[in-house]
Amino acid sequence: MATLSAQLDEMRSRAEAHLSSTGSAQEVKADVLAIANIPLPLSAKYCHIAGEALVTSNGTGDNRSESLVSLQRLSTALNILEKYGCNLTSPCRPKYWRSVKHNNPVFKATVDAIAGGRAVLCLYGYTNQQPDGLSFPDDVIEPDTGKVAAVTLEVMTLRMELDLLIKDVHPHPEFFERIIPSLGLEEKDESGPILDTDVSSSLRVWEREAQPLVQFDHADASSPGPAAGSMSPSVHTRKEACCLCGGSPSLLCASCGSMTFCESCDLVFHRHPSRATHRRELTHIPMPDNCTICGIFPVSAHCPSCVQRLCSECDRLYHTHPGRTGHIRNTVTSVKPLRMTSSSLTLWQCIYCTTVNEARTVFCMSCERTRSSGTLSAALEEPLQLSTFTEWQCKSCTVVNAGSSVLCEVCERPRLATRPPVSPVYSGHATLESLKEADGQWVCQFCTFVNLNPAPLCEMCDLPRPEPAPTPRKLLPQSPIKDVPLSPIKPKVTLAEDPDVKRQKLMREQGLKLVQLIREGERNGVSPEEVYTSLRVSAGSSFAPCDWVRLELPHLLDEICAMAASVQQQPTVGRSGSHGDGNPEMSQGVQLSRAEAKQAWLAAGGDTEKAVKLALQDRRGKVKELHSLGFSDVAKCEEVLRLSGGEVRGALALLQRPLLESFHQRMWSDQPLPSIDIRDPDKQKVCRRLLAVYDLPSWGRCELALSLLQDPDVPYTLEDVVQAVKESHDRDFIRRVLAKECPICLSVFPHSKMQSLTSCQCSVCCDCFQQHFTIVVRDKHIRDMVCPVCWEPDINDPEHLNSYFSTLDIQLRECLEPEVYDLFHKKLTEQALIKDPKFLWCSHCSYGFIYDGDQLKVTCFQCRNSFCAQCKKPWEDQHAGLSCEQFQTWKRENDPEYQRQGLAGYLRDNGITCPNCRFQYALSKGGCMHFSCSQCRYQFCSGCNNPFHTTCSVPHCSVTGLHAHHPRDCLFYLRDWEPARLQALLLRKGVAFNTDPPHGMQPGLCGVMEQKDEGGRQTDAACGGQTQPGHAGLCEKHYREYLVSLINGHSIDPALLFDANEVLVACRRYQVDIWRGEMEDDRAYLSRLLEKLMEEVPLGDKVPRKI
């Protein structure tokens, strides 16, 4: 047992390694066969799949035959499971390897039809249950190839064992008979006794040491092939069984002492190099193999890429997958049993060495002798059989042709032509040998054609004539009588020509002539039917069939038409001109067209009288068909049938044309269609108009629309109702759709007259929608173009900005006036250009544009005024050649107006600049630090330029609502300091500052411009605050702003003047560790915290640093 388990583990590990690396089932086929032959029970051999449970649950049956049929279905399902496993271990996995669909017809008929099939898929890794199948979990990127290879190997082994068991060649069937008792029960009507199997001797065969399957005598061990009596199988064999496994034999090896083998044992036994050259012969008729997928139909194609032998239907379904459409398949011909009494059309047997050779070979493959015609007589004893489904045998010349050909390649006769009857030729017993001995005549052994001329090649198949083997001549003894007079030479008797040969030759000539005439007719536009019929009619005429059709057939067709017109007919019901007094008169004949006469003439085979009867009968049937369609005027029906050449469709078109004349006139008329009168009493007429004009889906919808329109005091139009009825058939829902209230003007409109944005569910009427967006485009910022009801969406988010305006542009194009729509596009373009670093705002007219130059002087394209590209101040000649700082210094020293304004002008020039769009405002920073840019709606702090937001990105921030995070040198904190403290900070760093007002300025009100909020609107106005002495002519608020601007311009850290409380508050605000040592005093502690604060928390990076 231990030795068998070790062998099993070794073979399994080797096969799993090959299978997990290549995924090819062919490379491990030998190992699978060896594992299947190991004498171990199923419970000990299979450790991954429940092999014994699979066989037990799927091997039901009352006897052996029924159980084998059930096991065959299990083998087919295992074959499909094997393909799933090989696909997962293959380096080139299919595109859709992650899932298995339940609706797959192959899966439903095989894997899903057995018990335990889905459990094997779960072992592969398909553990995620989907509504339509199984799939790998989402977190699994690659399958576990090692585990899949182990499971696949056991699936292949179990399928191999089942195939061996079904073919009755399994070396140890007792393992299956123990778990399936019905395998030992034979059918009652089965002929022959049931062989007794010594089960007791093999009950515990796996517990013994593994014995060799074949034992050789030591005396003959040196010979390359064992003798007939030197081999004794160690297992029980039956009569006419495989000498190794006892199964059904299929091959016979004469070199091994006429030993018989099955296919599996022959593959193993003759793999040895000393026996690889042995020639084996078939011992039984090969039976056709079935498809590897369905297991029902015979194989018609072999695919080397996926190693499948498939029937035609499975091949079509299996190779429609995108990953297998490029596979090249080889056609497999079905194997038919050969008749023992006659030679096959595809094989011939050598009369010298009895080797069976293929038909196309001329020399024997074994003895290299020429093919003899001795097998021909046997072949002529009975009718020949077709060799394959894709070929057919001509019944005239017995040549096998391709399945796609219609005419025989040799005699050019049609496929369904019958062989001419055979009649006796001679009064005596004429044989094939007598024909061969006839002067100049010889029979081709390939196509069996009798050649009359002694030519070296056959007239039919152009194959060479075989030379007969030389016959040794016996030497006669010399006659003792000399000078015997010579007998007179008899004249050579010429044998009469064989009637069969003559008939064959005549049929061949007639067939070739007919084919030539048909081909000539096709070139001249004459159909084969016309050629054949004219050939019968013009027999004995000097005209060729094509010429006869062109010259004589028109006269014959006119004669048929005249004969049909002269035939007196009984009046038909409904015929115009018939009398109703009970004495009907005979009506005139029928006027036929040449097309009808020609069709009847071809159907009658050229018989004129029969053609007339057929034409009249066909005409009566067509008239009845038109009468059933509502056209009762028989004379009119016959006239249109004549004009249309007997075509009912064409006649129907001619009959309907007058009826459609009024419709055509109305359709092509320039006059507008009359409106639909809802109050018309003819409701069906109104419904038909609704169906025709508005394309409503059904008659019931038309009646629903009509009933809604007839309600009293309806505020909606016909078009509104039709649009609502197309969307739904619920009357209450339609009424709600037709009565929508606008939340702005509170008027009621139908849903089709309402408009809504894609960002919300609000709907407003078209007038309110147009008015709202017109006002926003003209008077407000582009970021105010939101819903007038809920003010959504928040388009300050740049991610939603582009998608929102792309859909809004389509709606505004239809409702806004052209000039308003152009203004909207202009503002939208400016909004996009703001993000460009080369974009500039004009300081004179607020016009924005792209400037690519490198000079400071920029001229606006709108107002043609100039300004500085860097400081954005109006351009002056003194700015040329000077930097912006030098120019500001010059103005403070030399410009009287600038000097008169004093610090108010300074604060104006150093006003607020938007950090988002870089638009400048000549305003001070005092008052509320929350500033909103009128150009881009960006909200920021005017002291440090940090943004105001509701969603904070600073970690551990507990502030909710609109807020900003300010650095410690921001005006937000320093505006609370007294001017004296700010002056002290400047003096500590040696920075000069002003305290006296400008020369000539009277003390009074502060004139610094600032932004004020008045009634919800932001306006620009002078400060108006009272100036204080020593504040340089400014109010206290703006003087602090002036001092802070100097502090920021020189990057002075205000922490130098922090007291103990301010240091602790700043450390907590900026999350600086305020841990204090046990022995640390207050002074050292505060000094350390201040130093740590200044090192870890820098000054604001966005604070304006203008001097």
CA-based nearest residue to 409, from 321, 335, 508, 310: 508
927: its two tokens? 């008052």
The DSSP code sequence of 1019-1031 is: EEEE--PBB-TTS
d(CA 698, CA 1088): 88
CB atoms under 10 Å from CB of 512, counted, come to 13
d(CA 701, CA 1059): 84
Please say whether the dihedral angle defined by the alpha carbons of residues 408, 413, 414 and 415, taken in this order, is positive or negative.
negative
On whether the CB atoms of residues 857 and 871 are closer than 8 A, the answer is no
Half-sphere exposure in the Cβ direction for 72 (13 Å, CA): 16
- DSSP percent split of the chain into helix, strand, coil, nearest 5: 40, 10, 50
Say which amino acid occupies 71: L
Helix (H) or strand (E) holding 22: helix 2-22
CA-based nearest residue to 348, from 372, 312, 382: 372
Beta carbons within 8 Å of 91's beta carbon, 6+ residues apart: 22, 23
895: its two tokens? 């410009």
Say which amino acid occupies 106: V
d(CA 890, CA 880): 12
On whether the CB atoms of residues 607 and 618 are closer than 8 A, the answer is no
Q: Is 928 one of the annotated active-site residues of the chain?
A: yes
Q: Which one from 122, 745, 928, 957 is the annotated catalytic residue?
A: 928
| Cα–Cα separations (whole angstroms), residue 451 to 233, 456, 508, 682 | 57, 10, 14, 90
User: Based on the number of CB atoms within 10 Å of its own CB, is 568 exposed (0-12), middle (13-18) or buried (19 or more)?
Assistant: exposed
476: its two tokens? 């006669």
Beta carbons within 8 Å of 782's beta carbon, 6+ residues apart: 776, 824, 827, 828, 831
- Does 793 sit behind a cis peptide bond, omega within 30 degrees of 0 on the bond before it? yes
d(CA 654, CA 651): 5
Give ∠ CA 498-499-500 in degrees, rounded to 5: 90
CA-based nearest residue to 588, from 609, 560, 565, 611: 565
Give ∠ CA 980-983-989 in degrees, rounded to 5: 145
On whether the CB atoms of residues 166 and 158 are closer than 8 A, the answer is no
CB atoms under 10 Å from CB of 152, counted, come to 32
Say which amino acid occupies 367: C
| Cα–Cα separations (whole angstroms), residue 1086 to 143, 682, 761, 1053 | 63, 100, 59, 16
User: Based on the number of CB atoms within 10 Å of its own CB, is 207 exposed (0-12), middle (13-18) or buried (19 or more)?
Assistant: exposed
CA-based nearest residue to 773, from 708, 830, 817, 738: 817
Residues with a catalytic annotation lie at 928
